[in-house]
Amino acid sequence: MRILDESEFKVISLNYNSCLSRRIFYKTGQILRRGMILGFHVSYHLKKYPGTNLLEISVSSSLEDDYYDSIKGCHFKSLSSFLQEIFKLSRFLPVVGVNLHHRYYKNSENLSLLEEALDTLKLSSWLEFSALSQIYQKYKKITQA
């Protein structure tokens, strides 16, 4: 993290696990101002990563579910479970990061699932699509404090 900070990076993106035990772990790590505890990452989603000027904007959801081969493929969540997850996360996260591993969208079936998910999300009045740069602009005051 120090190297990224010294190289004048502005944003890092890590994983945010939304289960209750992990959220408690994150809060404990944040109180202790630690980036890692016992080899596990402490999320600072939408906050300044400790000891740096980096804003963490993390990923908390994905259409991909189970990776059976990091190069060739994965199993996908159903569209309804993915949408339910996004809705659940949006109740306690002001920004829900979605990760899309492009290598898994090479065939028409997987690409159709992605298009359907995006089309459905676009119809949601409670949701707004943003680029990392837009999120950074909104939350960068945190890193300047």
Please, is 106 exposed, middle or buried when counting C-beta atoms within 10 Å of its C-beta (0-12, 13-18, 19+)? exposed
Longest distance between any two alpha carbons in the chain, whole Å? 47
Q: What pLDDT shows up at residue 46?
A: 95
Q: What pLDDT shows up at residue 143?
A: 67
Q: How does pLDDT run across 83-103, given as a tens digit for each residue?
A: 999 999 998 899 999 888 777
Residue with tokens 């289960």: 19
The single-letter code of the amino acid at 19 is C
| Average pLDDT rounded to a whole number, residues 59-83 | 84
**CA 143 vs CA 2, 54, 61, 103, 123: distances in Å:** 14, 7, 24, 33, 33
Query: For residues 131 and 13, what is the distance between their CA atoms, to the nearest angstrom?
Result: 13
| Average pLDDT rounded to a whole number, residues 56-85 | 85
Answer yes or no: is pLDDT of 71 > 80. Answer: no
Global confidence as pTM: 0.82
Per the document, the length of the chain is: 145
Answer yes or no: is pLDDT of 45 > 90. Answer: yes
